[in-house]
Amino acid sequence: MKDLVILGAGTAGTMMLNKLYKLLDKNEWKITIVDNEKNHYYQPGFLFIPFGVYTKKDVVKPKKQFFPGEHEMIESEIFKVLPEFNKVHLNNGIILDYDILIIATGSRTAPEETEGLKDKLWYKDIFDFYTLEGALALAEKFKKWNGGKLVVNITEMPIKCPVAPLEFAFLADAFFEDKRIREKVQITYVTPLAEAFTKHKCSEVLGHFLDDKGIELEAEFNIARIDNENKKLISWDEREIDFDLLVTVPVNKGADYIEASGLGDELNFVPTDKHTLQSLQHKNIFVIGDASNIPASKAGSVAHFASEILTENILSYINAMPLAAKFDGHANCFIESGHGRAFLIDFNYDVEPLPGKFPLAHLGPFSLLKESRTNHIGKLMFKWTYWNLLLKGKELPVGSAMSLDGKILDNQQIKEQFITDTQQIQKLSGGI
Amino acid sequence: MSNAAAEKIILGKTLAIDADGNLVNMADWNEEIAGELAKEEGIAELNGQHWQVINFMRKVYSETGDSSSIRKLTKESGVDTKTLYALFPKGPAKKAARIAGLPKPKGCI
Ligand SMILES: Cc1cc2nc3c(=O)[nH]c(=O)nc-3n(C[C@H](O)[C@H](O)[C@H](O)COP(=O)(O)OP(=O)(O)OC[C@H]3O[C@@H](n4cnc5c(N)ncnc54)[C@H](O)[C@@H]3O)c2cc1C
């Protein structure tokens, strides 16, 4: 009997378990999955909690519900991997042997990395929305808040779901408009990057949305510390930004055991072959989801596309065949823009986001790189898709390789289409 | 290695650059060209500490094929964070990579 061990039963680990459970011979392979949390969190839903759209019950379900058959999980924190011995030590004392190891322990927020962040003002005037506790605390704060300087901030790249902070700023604009206190709220978007979007193409086409919504941009701002007394962000080059309410995305890091096992880079992400998803250090270790260092967005959609490739490559590895399936870095993200509208972007390692239509059976077409109501519905439907199809490793109405069908490559057309669209949008409006 | 998007003339040589304005071929780089790229980034003259960072980045790149992130620089280059921002204002990793003739660090996706 051989052992395949999956570390982490989040989005990526659960998908891999479901896929491999179906395909591996049960007389030959035993699959073990480890996680320290009983519950599965639908993290994309955290974005909507501060605005009262989702509550806790929308985003939490027992992990067991998504495992195949009666499959059990070992509930324990992972302590250390010993790659030379093909063993994993768990905090509960269990030692697991493996023939193949899949690392899927994701990325976590590390507010302790920034001086003054997890201090006197934490969850009083400083919040994150990347954790359930943070999102829930912020929802309470928003119920009572009467306005002032709202600063939305990314501490350091990379972060998971790199567009979420911008979506947060857009939703905040709409939220305070609906509350009729928008004129009392000054929104500033503070990023270490040179522009608002991580993809230059998006900034080019969508950058003006910040101006239109009256959101100020402070780019290339790298936080050195937070002054809790005077409520200021202070950068390494001594620039200062005042806030009344700070909503930040703290530094993102891979799990601590990765560091203890000597498997990670400077942020505990595992160096991984971006095409085959095999660890660069150890041939029998594979990495999927936010835990890897591949130059793709850290997003559930990316993990989904990658899971199809990884499944094929694990089967090849077992059969001593070359790892022929190649991941192209495909990402597909809805970006909420407020008032019940959203954009959709689709890109991979080599192709920048392009405007056009995304051909999706039954649901689409969704408009790429432009705002529409259908896209917003798509984003909300993602929750259903996530719980019911994606986690269970079922087919989604999208394939893993990015398709260029339906995309507009001509720039002039992009601009014209965009202008007509924006005019239309200005006439329309609706609630979230 | 990134793809060539344009060409640029530095010190009389025509060099291929990528979409971020970084050199495409490591072999095109030398210390004089670094000095010119530094000027474009608003750094009048490269001092010993600048070189410590640039050499560190080139060493890491030759070993791993990646440009160092800011975190790698602060952890391993031997120059502290405050000084890094003084040497390469606003974006130490991005600017040092460009001056070192390397692609932009990939943390920005
Ligand atoms: C606010 C927000 C909005 C987002 N929006 C979107 C979106 O719109 N679209 C999209 O595609 N993606 C979105 N994402 C990103 C998406 O949620 C992640 O990319 C995805 O969940 C990654 O899956 P994963 O399996 O790699 O990590 P996770 O799902 O985070 O799973 C990691 C698992 O490992 C476990 N673990 C970690 N360390 C240990 C340890 N030491 N011992 C034991 N267990 C451990 C954890 O408990 C967890 O269950 C969003 C994320 C956030 C935070």
List the Cα angle A29/A33/A38 in 5-degree steps.
150
The pLDDT value recorded for residue A384 is 84
Rounded to the nearest angstrom, the distance between the alpha carbon of A280 and the centre of ligand 1 is: 22
Catalytic annotation, pick one of B6, B11, B19, B108: B108
Where b means 16+ CB within 10 Å and e means fewer, A191-201 reads bbbebbbbbbb
Q: Which of A18, A35, A391 to mutate to test the pocket of ligand 1 (most atoms within 8 A of CB)?
A: A35
List, for residues A139-174, the tens digit of each pLDDT value.
999 999 999 999 999 999 999 999 999 999 999 999
Chain A residues close to B72, C-beta within 8 Å: 265-266
Residues with Cβ within 8 Å of A395's Cβ and at least 6 positions away in sequence, in order, are A389
How far apart are the C-alpha atoms of B28 and B102, rounded to whole Å? 11
pLDDT tens for B24-57 read 998 999 999 999 999 999 999 999 999 999 999 9
Of ligand 1's listed atoms, the one at least distance from the Cα of A107 is 30
> Tokens 């929308």 identify what position?
A58
**SS3 of A218, please?**
strand
Distance (angstroms) between ligand 1 centre and the Cα of A144 equals: 30
Q: How far is B40 from chain A (nearest CA, A)?
A: 16
Chain B neighbors of A156, CB-CB under 8 A: 70-71
Q: Model confidence over A174-224: pLDDT tens digits?
A: 999 999 999 999 999 999 988 888 777 788 777 888 999 999 999 999 999
Task: Please tell me if the CB atom of residue A89 comes closer than 6 angstroms to any atom of ligand 1.
Answer: no
Determine the angle formed by the axes of helices A300-318 and A11-23, rounding to 10 degrees.
Answer: 30
Q: What is the pLDDT of residue A397?
A: 59
> What distance in angstroms lies between residue A13's CA and the mean position of ligand 1's atoms?
10
Task: Provide the pLDDT for residue A190.
Answer: 97
For residue A108, give Cα distances in angstroms to A111, A158, A160, A276, A309: 10, 11, 9, 24, 24
The set of residues, in sequence order, having a beta carbon less than 8 Å from that of A334 and lying 6+ positions away, is A342, A343, A344, A375, A376, A378, A379, A382
Cα(A31)–Cα(A229) distance, rounded to whole angstroms? 52
Distance CA A188, CA A242 (A): 10
pLDDT > 90: percent of chain B? 68
Domain A111-252 in the same topology as domain A2-106+255-318:
yes
b/e A149-162 (16+ beta carbons within 10 angstroms → b)? ebbbbbbbbbbbbb
Residue B107 has pLDDT above 90, yes or no: no
* Residue spans of chain A under pLDDT 70: 354-367, 369, 396-432
Q: Is the CB of A160 under 6 A from ligand 1?
A: yes
Does A380 contact ligand 1 (Cβ within 6 A)?
Answer: no
Nearest-neighbour CA in chain A from B27: distance (Å): 23
More confident call, B75 vs A365? B75
Fold of A111-252: FAD/NAD(P)-binding domain (3.50.50)
**Could you write out the DSSP letters of every residue in A10-62?**
SHHHHHHHHHHHHHS-TTTEEEEEEES-SEEE-GGGGGGTTTTSS-HHHHEEE
User: Quick one: which atom of ligand 1 is closest to the CA of A15?
Assistant: 25
Q: What is the mean pLDDT of chain B?
A: 91
CA of B46 to the centre of ligand 1 (A): 42
Would the CB atoms of A296 and B109 count as touching at under 8 Å? yes
Please name which of A163, A153, A198 lies closest in space to residue A343, comparing C-alpha atoms. A163
At A356 the pLDDT is: 61
Alpha-helical regions (H) of A195-265: 200-206, 208-212, 256-260
Separation of alpha carbons B5 and A147, rounded Å: 46
Which residues of B fall within a CB distance of 8 Å from A162?
109
Task: Write out the two tokens for A405.
Answer: 């069908």
Q: Please tell us whether the domain made up of A2-106+255-318 is placed in CATH 3.40.190.10.
A: no
In this predicted structure, what is the pLDDT of residue A401? 52
Cis peptide before B105 (omega within 30 of 0): no
Q: In A47-120, at which residue ranges do the beta strands (DSSP E only) sit?
A: 60-62, 74-75, 78-82, 87-90, 95-97, 100-103, 108-109
A247, containing H or E segment: strand A245-249
A11 lines ligand 1 (CB under 6 A): yes
Å between A271 CA and nearest CA of chain B: 10
- Record the tokens describing residue B67, joined without a space: 């440009």
The alpha-carbon gap from A143 to the nearest alpha carbon of chain B, in Å, equals 33
With contacts defined as CB-CB under 8 Å, which chain A residues touch B70?
Answer: 156, 222
Based on the residue annotation, tell me whether B41 is a catalytic residue of this protein: no
Domain boundaries, chain A: 2-106+255-318, 111-252, 331-428
SS3 (DSSP) at A312: helix
Contact by Cβ (8 Å): A311, A23: yes
For β-strands A185-190 and A148-154, DSSP reports them as parallel
Taking only the tens place, the pLDDT of each residue in B48-66 is 999 999 999 999 999 888 8
- ipTM (interface predicted TM): 0.79
Q: What is the pLDDT of residue A6?
A: 98
